[in-house]
Chain A
Amino acid sequence: MWDNATIQMLLVGIGESLYMTVFSALFGYVIGLPLGILLVISARDGIRPNASLYKVLDVIVNVTRSIPFLLLMVMLIPVTRAIVGTSLGPTAAIVSLTFSAAPFIARMVESSLMEVDKGVIEAAHSMGASDRQIILKVLLPEAVPSLINGATIAIATILGYSATAGFIGGGGLGAIAVNYGYYRYQTDIMLVTVLLLVVVVQIFQEIGMRSAGKSDKRKS
């Protein structure tokens, strides 16, 4: 099985998986980070409480998070076609991965920002900080270690979803595992792809944990 073609295929698979994961995470944060910030500041004990805004965002996040990823992908086929022109391949998968990751990321960001000491926010208010300054200079910087931890979890989760995307033509390691291991009973290739996925997740995990620890100034 270790002919050049197989190795080539696996390398392309890793590349595609990373491509899907990185871009989905990136776009996921473009949507999820502001959403998480809005959730925190509009909450009852936030810096700009707004019950109706909070409720609307809360419901959107909960509903989208409740839809299983596989079904979300199918539902989003028309949207994906409209955006990328096709519903097949890694680029197409990024659309549904982003939609699926964004609310998840929003929740992660929300819980990271909620950890920031209310007293510090009050101190910033007492110094005459504006809402914008509190978000940019207090909430986000103080939550950095926790945000990095959240990002690590988000990336591992998206990588897992990207493998699922392989089932309906998403490409990447997931597609290889499905096509060879499931349809052709080539267990060895499937095991190799699983192993590769595990290694990739471990690498992300390690990088994430190290940089979170390094950025954390709370421990002496």
Chain B
Amino acid sequence: MAPQTLIEIQELEKTFQTKNGAVHALKDINLQIQQGDIFGIIGMSGAGKSTLVRCMNLLERPTAGRVLFDGKDIAKLNDYQLRTVRRSMGMIFQQFNLLMQRTAESNICFPLEIAGVDKKTAKARARELLELVGLSDRAKSYPSQLSGGQKQRVAIARALAPNPKVLLCDEATSALDPTTTASILSLLKDINRRLGITIIIITHEMSVIEQICNRVAIIDKSHIAEVGSVEEIFFHPKTAAAQKLVYPDGRKSEPFSAQDADATCYRIVFDGNSSFEPVIADMVLEFKIPVNIIYADTKNIDGKAFGQIVIQVPQQESLRENMLRYLQRRGLTVEEVTGYVG
């Protein structure tokens, strides 16, 4: 079944009027988000990403352009219709935004109360969701008695309560420590897989995109600089903005030279076709000749290996050739480099 477009943004523009004149927060934004995507939107602070996600549920009104949700232009809806559509778009926030005077369970019931669901049904649903996010024992706790990660879990459960089609996450992990971030991200991934809910993630951290997104848009100075699969952007970042995010320390900042000026090196590129087999170790065992790893930078994206390793290979030509063939047989891209690798 071909994936269906859930959210489509066409020629979107958002301008804020301030005392110092007009500020263009967003310009020429075109995006398509498919059903089932975990779509990342990444950019530096001030790039306009939070405004973009708020345009998707009209918390911000776009100045121009269209936002289609399930094929409908949501800017054309009246107040009542918009409120109904918003119930199929859950949202979570950096600061959690829970109601402080309500318990965890009652917070999850809140969107259901708004939708007019009766108390008993709402409570049963809240219990079910607390279980899903692993907080069954904290139903009667107030937000002030919960940790940051627990608060975000309650917020996720609350956003899921009305059975939304999409979950908008605005810097949802930015206020959390790395361990908690990882657990929240895996919860989101789980929700995406099990419930089939499309997830849109706004972040300034590349690691968040790496961990769970399948598609990503890079937003830079109010424009979309690049859109594509996470693999594409990671391996062939075309624009300067993308390169800056993928290689935050500068791409060629670490020139290296092999001990021998005329030493031959191979650059092995992992581009996702190979999983984490111990390729280099296998090769060393096969040829019984050690190789020197000069440089390595690999990442695990969605269970596949991406990145590159540079090894210094023996001078003996026939052996070198055999190693090259061995690596190519394993489905890796190998190229010969001398002296310098960037």
Given contacts A117-B97, A119-B95, A123-B97, contact A129 B144 (CB under 8 A): no
Contact B93 A133 (CB under 8 A): no
For the complex, give the distance between the alpha carbons of A133 and B91 in Å: 18
A127 within 8 A of B: yes
State which residues 203-220 of A face B: CB under 8 Å: 215, 217-220
Given contacts A128-B111, A133-B114, A137-B113, contact A142 B83 (CB under 8 A): no
For the complex, give the distance between the alpha carbons of A128 and B88 in Å: 9
A26 within 8 A of B: no
Give which listed residue, A137, A142, A215, contacts B114 with CB less than 8 A. A137
Given contacts A127-B87, A128-B84, A133-B114, contact A142 B99 (CB under 8 A): yes
Contact A217 B144 (CB under 8 A): yes
Contacts of A142 in B (CB 8 A): 99-101
Contact B142 A217 (CB under 8 A): yes
A188 within 8 A of B: no
Closest to A140 in B: B101
Closest to A142 in B: B101
B223 within 8 A of A: no
B237 within 8 A of A: no
Q: How many residues of A contact B (CB 8 A)?
A: 23
Given contacts A123-B91, A219-B144, contact A128 B115 (CB under 8 A): yes
Contacts of B209 in A (CB 8 A): none
Contact A129 B99 (CB under 8 A): no
Given contacts A133-B114, A217-B142, contact A141 B86 (CB under 8 A): no
B198 within 8 A of A: no
Binary contact readout B199-210 vs A (1 if CB under 8 angstroms, 0 otherwise): 000000000000
CB distance from B253 to the nearest CB of A (A): 39
Closest to A219 in B: B144
Binary contact readout A102-142 vs B (1 if CB under 8 angstroms, 0 otherwise): 00000000000000010110111111111001000110011
Closest to A119 in B: B97
A201 within 8 A of B: no
A77 within 8 A of B: no
Contacts of B162 in A (CB 8 A): 127
Contact A122 B100 (CB under 8 A): no
B9 within 8 A of A: no
A88 within 8 A of B: no
Binary contact readout B80-109 vs A (1 if CB under 8 angstroms, 0 otherwise): 001111110111010101111110000000
CB distance from A78 to the nearest CB of B (A): 44
When A and B form their complex, what is the total count of cross-chain residue pairs whose Cβ atoms lie within 8 Å? 79
Give which listed residue, A120, A126, A141, contacts B59 with CB less than 8 A. A126
Given contacts A119-B95, A217-B142, A219-B144, contact A125 B59 (CB under 8 A): yes
Contacts of A124 in B (CB 8 A): 110, 114
Contact A220 B145 (CB under 8 A): yes
Binary contact readout B59-89 vs A (1 if CB under 8 angstroms, 0 otherwise): 1000000000000000000010011111101
CB distance from A142 to the nearest CB of B (A): 5
For the complex, give the distance between the alpha carbons of A124 and B110 in Å: 9
Contact A127 B86 (CB under 8 A): yes
Contacts of A120 in B (CB 8 A): 97-100
Given contacts A123-B91, A126-B59, A128-B84, contact A218 B144 (CB under 8 A): yes
Contacts of A144 in B (CB 8 A): 101
State which residues 176-220 of A face B: CB under 8 Å: 215, 217-220
CB distance from B327 to the nearest CB of A (A): 51
CB distance from B185 to the nearest CB of A (A): 21
For the complex, give the distance between the alpha carbons of A100 and B162 in Å: 46
For the complex, give the distance between the alpha carbons of A122 and B57 in Å: 11
Contacts of B114 in A (CB 8 A): 124, 127-130, 133, 137
Give which listed residue, B86, B100, B142, contacts A128 with CB less than 8 A. B86
Contact B145 A119 (CB under 8 A): no
Closest to B92 in A: A123
Binary contact readout A129-168 vs B (1 if CB under 8 angstroms, 0 otherwise): 1100100011001101000000000000000000000000
For the complex, give the distance between the alpha carbons of A11 and B162 in Å: 58
Contact A128 B144 (CB under 8 A): no
Contacts of B84 in A (CB 8 A): 128
Contact B59 A127 (CB under 8 A): no
Given contacts A128-B114, A219-B144, A220-B145, contact A123 B87 (CB under 8 A): no
CB distance from A207 to the nearest CB of B (A): 20
Closest to B91 in A: A126
State which residues 4-20 of A face B: CB under 8 Å: none
What are 7 A-to-B residue pairs whose CB atoms are below 8 Å?
A119-B95, A123-B93, A127-B90, A141-B101, A142-B99, A144-B101, A218-B144
Known pairs A126-B90, A217-B100. 6 more at Cβ < 8 A? A119-B93, A125-B86, A128-B115, A141-B99, A144-B101, A220-B144
Residues in chain B within 8 A of chain A (CB atoms): 57, 59, 79, 82-87, 89-91, 93, 95, 97-102, 110-111, 113-115, 142-145, 158-159, 162, 168
Q: Ordered nearest first, which 8 A-B pairs have the shortest CB separation?
A: A128-B86, A128-B83, A123-B97, A126-B91, A119-B97, A127-B111, A217-B142, A220-B144
